[in-house]
């Protein structure tokens, strides 16, 4: 009897697997793109149709679940569930602790901006933190700009005009974006194709800051708006918004706030590293650098996409970069993405909802007031 040729048999088995898998690549890709597009469109329609805060959050939650289900199905749902069961859940308190550190530092940054604009009269440190945390319920709005809701809450506490404090949200997003770019820059050598995007975003951000600082240009634009029929009533508020924005985008303020953002978002990058370790990936300094780069890049892509909470874009970016750089299976990459998104985005929304309920009891509006 002739002994089997192991190499030939292995080659035949490989070819057989390729033949089975290859036809499914394009249908899977088409299914993924179609499903995500459908989810985005349905979410946009729901968000426009629903007028209550609860409805908008529910629509975003359904979109988030839908995105996770689509990615999980394409990555092998059974393997994803197996990875989640095998996850070292004893690490969860450490992960949540790092994320809470991020929230605390970002809360301090909010308070720093608040005091800088002298909008904190009558607002205790506790109330400032409560307002910031309640604003996290709006993290599922496009670009998180719905967090201007904090300005409405601040007005209920001390009467500060929304046009005066609203630029704080812009400054928060700007410094968060700068921090993500700096963290992403640490790992650019890992993924050279990201360099043009990095340079473009950094250049656009710096250019925007410089333009805002050109007061004569801004005044000319505001004067032009004031001369328009519909702009007369709007111009005074726009001048207030611009004055606050210019003050917050002072270079000295930006350096301090961006430094706080780098540390705070660095905590979430480390949390992502811990998630990967909990899924069985060998810990190393390289893995830490990869985790920082992937988390920062995927979060930044989600932020600039202007989709609610970056849903879809952040998840797809995270899974793709994990597979490409860390060399783990799509199922493990999906599991890591699911865990970090629930521990960051949805944990924050939950804390925001609880804080908002607390704020509502603490500052109940009198009947007839708005």
- What is the band of 46 on the pLDDT scale with cuts at 50, 70, 90? very low
Q: How far is CA 285 from the centre of its chain?
A: 25
CA–CA dist 325, 287 (Å, integer) = 9
Q: What is the pLDDT of residue 55?
A: 55
Residue 62 scores a pLDDT above 70: no
Residue 279, pLDDT score: 95
Selection from 9-18, 218-227, 340-349 with the highest mean pLDDT: 340-349
pLDDT for the residue numbered 214 = 83
Residue 103 pLDDT grade (very low, low, confident, very high; cuts 50, 70, 90):
very high
- With a cut of 70, say whether residue 166 has pLDDT above it: yes
Percent of the chain with pLDDT over 70: 74
pLDDT in tens, 230-264: 777 777 778 888 888 888 888 899 999 999 999 99
**Model confidence pLDDT, tens digit, residues 329-345:** 988 999 999 899 889 88
Q: Kindly indicate the confidence band of residue 266, based on its pLDDT and cuts at 50, 70 and 90.
A: very high
pLDDT at 7: 41
| CA dihedral sign of residues 313, 350, 84, 180 | positive
Phi, psi values for residue 88, rounded to 5°: -80, 90
Evaluate if residue 1 carries a pLDDT over 60: no
Minimum mean pLDDT range among 56-70, 80-94, 117-131, 217-231: 56-70
Q: What is residue 362's predicted lDDT score, i.e. its pLDDT?
A: 87
Q: Which of 28-42, 74-88, 345-359 has the highest mean pLDDT?
A: 345-359
What pLDDT is recorded for position 75?
Answer: 59
- Token readout for 110 is 């909010």
pLDDT: is 107 or 316 the higher one? 107
Task: Look at 292 and 55; give whichever has higher pLDDT.
Answer: 292
Find the mean pLDDT for residues 105-125: 93
**The pLDDT of residue 34 is above 60:** no
Q: Which has more confidence, 56 or 255?
A: 255
Distance CA 330, CA 323 (A): 6
pLDDT tens digits, 135-165: 988 877 665 666 788 999 999 999 998 888 9
DSSP lists the bridge partners of residue 142 as: 308
Q: Are 39 and 63 in contact (CB under 8 A)?
A: yes
Q: Which long-range contacts (CB under 8 A, 24 or more apart) does 282-289 make?
A: 287/326, 289/186, 289/187, 289/190
Q: How confident is the model at residue 105 (pLDDT cuts 50, 70, 90)?
A: very high
The pLDDT-based confidence of 205 (bands split at 50, 70, 90) is: confident
More confident residue, 63 or 334: 334
pLDDT digits (tens, 9 = 90+) for 268-321: 999 999 999 999 999 999 999 999 999 999 988 887 777 766 777 888 889 889
Question: What pLDDT does residue 291 have?
Answer: 95
Residues 6+ apart with CB under 8 A from 153: 131, 134, 135, 359, 363
Give the distance from CA 221 to its chain's centroid.
32
pLDDT higher than threshold 60 for residue 6:
no
Whether 137 and 349 have beta carbons less than 8 Å apart is answered as yes
This model's pTM is above 0.75: yes
Residue 187 has pLDDT above 80, yes or no: yes
């Amino acid at each position: 009897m002739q002994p089997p040729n192991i190499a030939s048999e292995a080659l035949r088995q490989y070819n057989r697997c390729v033949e089975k898998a290859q036809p499914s690549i394009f249908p899977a890709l088409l299914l993924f793109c179609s499903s995500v597009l459908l989810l985005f469109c349905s979410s946009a329609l729901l968000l426009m149709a629903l007028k209550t805060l609860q409805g908008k959050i529910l629509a975003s939650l359904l979109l988030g679940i839908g995105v996770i289900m689509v990615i999980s199905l394409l990555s092998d749902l059974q393997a994803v569930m197996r990875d989640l069961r095998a996850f070292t859940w004893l690490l969860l308190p450490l992960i949540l602790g790092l994320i809470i550190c991020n929230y605390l530092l970002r809360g301090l940054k909010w308070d720093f901006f608040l005091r800088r604009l002298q909008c904190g009269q009558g607002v205790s440190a506790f109330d400032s933190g409560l307002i910031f945390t309640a604003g996290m319920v709006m993290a599922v709005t496009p670009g998180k700009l719905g967090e201007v809701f904090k300005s409405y809450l601040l007005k209920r506490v001390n009467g500060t005009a929304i046009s005066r404090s609203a630029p704080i949200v812009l400054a928060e997003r700007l410094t968060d974006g700068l921090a993500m770019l700096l963290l992403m820059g640490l790992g650019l050598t890992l993924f050279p194709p990201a360099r043009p995007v990095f340079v473009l975003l950094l250049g656009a951000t710096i250019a925007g800051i410089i333009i805002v600082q050109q007061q004569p240009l801004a005044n000319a634009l505001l004067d032009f708006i004031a001369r328009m029929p519909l702009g007369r009533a709007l111009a005074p508020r726009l001048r207030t918004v611009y004055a606050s924005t210019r003050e917050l985008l002072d270079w000295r303020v930006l350096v301090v706030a961006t430094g706080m953002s780098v540390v705070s978002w660095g905590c979430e990058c480390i949390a992502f590293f811990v998630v990967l370790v909990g899924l069985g990936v060998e810990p190393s300094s390289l893995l830490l650098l990869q985790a920082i780069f992937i988390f920062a890049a995927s979060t930044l892509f989600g932020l600039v996409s202007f989709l609610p909470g970056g849903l879809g874009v952040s998840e797809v970016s995270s899974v793709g970069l994990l597979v490409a750089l860390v060399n783990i299976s799509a199922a493990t990459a999906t599991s890591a993405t699911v865990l970090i998104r629930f521990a960051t985005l949805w944990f924050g929304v939950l804390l925001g909802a609880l804080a908002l309920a607390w704020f509502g009891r603490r500052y109940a509006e009198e009947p007839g007031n708005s």
